[in-house]
């Protein structure tokens, strides 16, 4: 007699429900840990925004090329004259040149116009010499960049003629006789430059006498000028006219201020 067959049993899907719940929660935990890892360490391949978890999952994106976190700028060039924005004839004009991201050895600095020339004297420092008024262009190139700037080129400003610290007016007899000649001063000029008096006319006016005029070459009193100076008495007047000076870079003498003194 054959044994009775066992009835066919079917597994109820609800019996396996705890296993599916464990698997689902484990997957969600793993995904959450992955997002937190990239968000904390700034991963470049996964873009995570500060949104709730469900919104982050919807916005998950993978970059094929990582984009920079800041805008890329071309190297900037600093180019300026250290003392003024003008280049003066006859003096060494200091120039500062700096290009961000490019070494000083990789830069080439050139000048056109003004009959100028440039010499490198330091890592970012140059001196510029010019000899013709007008304009010049200084160009900086290297490292795939190039920039230029136009500078005005001028003569050194006109000097001021003085007798010691005086440009005229009343002066004591003793102080006037103690002077040795006329000097030229560059007021409010930042460069180490000196102008030299080339000559002048000295006129002596004494009360009830004819004026006496002598020509003096150079800055110091010559014998004739010294003789007139030594005759000074209170009330006498002295005129210094046709005063000429020459400054660095000058090709000719320049006429500057006259002076008049009354002896006290």
Delimit the domains of the chain by residue range.
16-58, 77-154, 160-263
pLDDT of residue 80: 63
How far is the C-alpha of 196 from the C-alpha of 159, rounded, in Å?
9
How far is the C-alpha of 12 from the C-alpha of 139, rounded, in Å?
86
How far is the C-alpha of 163 from the C-alpha of 171, rounded, in Å?
10
* Residue 118 predicted with pLDDT over 80: yes
CATH topology for the 77-154 domain: Immunoglobulin-like (2.60.40)
* Residue 36 predicted with pLDDT over 80: no
With contact defined as beta carbons under 8 Å apart, do 209 and 148 qualify? no
Split at pLDDT 50, 70, 90, the class of 104 is confident
State the virtual CA torsion across 187, 192, 193, 197 in degrees, nearest 10.
60
Which helix (H) or strand (E) segment is 20 a member of? helix 17-41
With contact defined as beta carbons under 8 Å apart, do 120 and 53 qualify? no
pLDDT digits (tens, 9 = 90+) for 53-76: 344 333 333 332 334 444 444 556
């Amino acid at each position: 007699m054959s044994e009775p067959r066992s009835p066919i049993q079917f597994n109820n899907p609800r019996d396996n429900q705890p296993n599916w719940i464990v698997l689902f929660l484990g997957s969600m935990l793993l995904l959450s840990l992955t997002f937190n890892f990239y968000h904390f360490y700034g991963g470049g391949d996964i873009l995570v925004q500060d949104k709730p978890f469900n919104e982050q999952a919807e916005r998950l994106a993978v970059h094929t090329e990582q984009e920079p976190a800041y805008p890329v700028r071309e190297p900037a060039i600093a180019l300026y004259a250290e003392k003024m924005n003008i280049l003066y004839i006859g003096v060494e004009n200091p120039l500062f040149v700096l290009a961000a991201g490019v070494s000083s050895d990789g830069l080439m600095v050139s000048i056109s116009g003004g009959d100028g020339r440039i010499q490198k004297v330091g890592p970012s420092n140059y001196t510029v010499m010019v000899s013709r008024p007008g304009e010049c262009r200084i160009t900086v190139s290297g490292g795939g960049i190039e920039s230029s700037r136009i500078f005005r080129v001028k003569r050194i400003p006109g000097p001021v003629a003085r007798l010691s610290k005086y440009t005229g007016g009343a002066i004591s007899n003793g102080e006037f006789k103690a002077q040795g000649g006329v000097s030229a001063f560059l007021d409010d000029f930042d460069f180490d430059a000196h102008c030299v008096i080339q000559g002048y006319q000295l006129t002596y006016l004494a009360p009830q006498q004819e004026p006496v005029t002598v020509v003096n070459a150079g800055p110091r009193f010559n014998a004739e000028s010294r003789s007139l100076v030594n005759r000074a008495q209170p009330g006498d007047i002295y005129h210094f006219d046709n005063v000429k000076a020459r400054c660095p870079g000058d090709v000719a003498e320049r006429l500057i201020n006259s002076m008049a003194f009354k002896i006290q």
